[in-house]
């Protein structure tokens, strides 16, 4: 029977990965798709997600000796790096809400949204992101793990070191608070 890989396991493996390439490879292979999905969910751009995930793992490797399992879960530490990489990228870019014309837009294709519709979708997405940022960090993380990483409450509980019931309660509270925040904006 294989070992259940929980928060403590990944923390021990991260400490070991400082000097063990097999441990580093296992961390990378497990977390790469999760970090990639997280960043892709945030950016909606595969090329950018590729670049950001690469930067995330380079920084993880460069700072792995600084990880302390006594201070928190490895996943929390790694996703904080991913968030910081993304924040640094967007902080260095002039962000604009202008609706660029998609060169591949085909008005005859009813599956494609018009450039105006795309702009409205981006605007709604930005409103949702701004609302999420108003939530406590734990609720933000649980929302991200649920919707961007498509993890269930048991998986999230294992990563965060809390009970699955606590995950479900926090998720419901986050959803309710988001609804309230978004209604205030309407």
Cα angle for residues 37, 38, 40 (degrees, 5° grid)? 60
Range of the domain at 56: 1-93
Q: pTM of whole model > 0.85?
A: no
Residues 24 and 14: beta-carbon distance below 8 Å: no
User: Would you say residue 146 lies in a domain?
Assistant: yes
CA torsion angle 159 160 165 167 (round to 10)? -100
- Is there a contact between 80 and 167 (Cβ–Cβ < 8 Å)? no
Residue 103, in any domain of the structure: no
Q: Is residue 34 part of a domain?
A: yes
> Are 84 and 144 within one domain?
no
Most confident among 106-115, 152-161, 165-174 (mean pLDDT) = 165-174
Q: Which two structure tokens, joined as six digits, stand for 70?
A: 């006594």
Does a structural domain hold residue 98? no
Mean per-residue pLDDT, 170-183: 90
Count structural domains, the chain.
2
Band (107; pLDDT cuts 50, 70, 90): very low
* Residue 164 within a domain: yes
Alpha helices in the chain (DSSP H): 7-17, 21-43, 46-63, 74-91, 115-132, 137-147, 153-160, 164-185
CA distance 101 to 116: 9
Residues 145 and 89 in one domain: no
Q: Mean pLDDT, to the nearest integer, of 64-80?
A: 88
């Amino acid at each position: 029977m294989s070992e259940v890989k929980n928060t403590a396991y990944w923390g021990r493996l991260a400490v070991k990965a400082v000097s063990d390439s097999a441990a580093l490879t296992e961390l990378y292979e497990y977390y790469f798709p999760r970090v990639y999905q997280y960043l892709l969910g945030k950016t909606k751009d595969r090329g950018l997600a590729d670049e950001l995930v690469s930067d995330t793992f380079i920084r993880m490797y460069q700072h792995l000796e600084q990880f302390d399992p006594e201070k928190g879960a490895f996943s929390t530490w790694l996703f904080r790096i991913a968030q910081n990489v993304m924040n640094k990228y967007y902080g260095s870019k002039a962000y604009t809400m202008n609706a660029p014309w998609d060169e591949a837009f085909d008005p005859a294709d009813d599956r494609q949204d018009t450039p105006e519709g795309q702009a409205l979708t981006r605007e709604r997405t930005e409103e949702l992101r701004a609302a999420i940022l108003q939530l406590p960090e734990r609720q933000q993380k649980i929302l991200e793990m649920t919707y961007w990483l498509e993890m269930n409450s048991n998986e999230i509980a294992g990563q965060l070191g809390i009970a699955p019931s606590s995950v479900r309660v926090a998720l419901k509270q986050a959803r309710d608070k988001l609804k309230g925040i978004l209604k205030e904006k309407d």
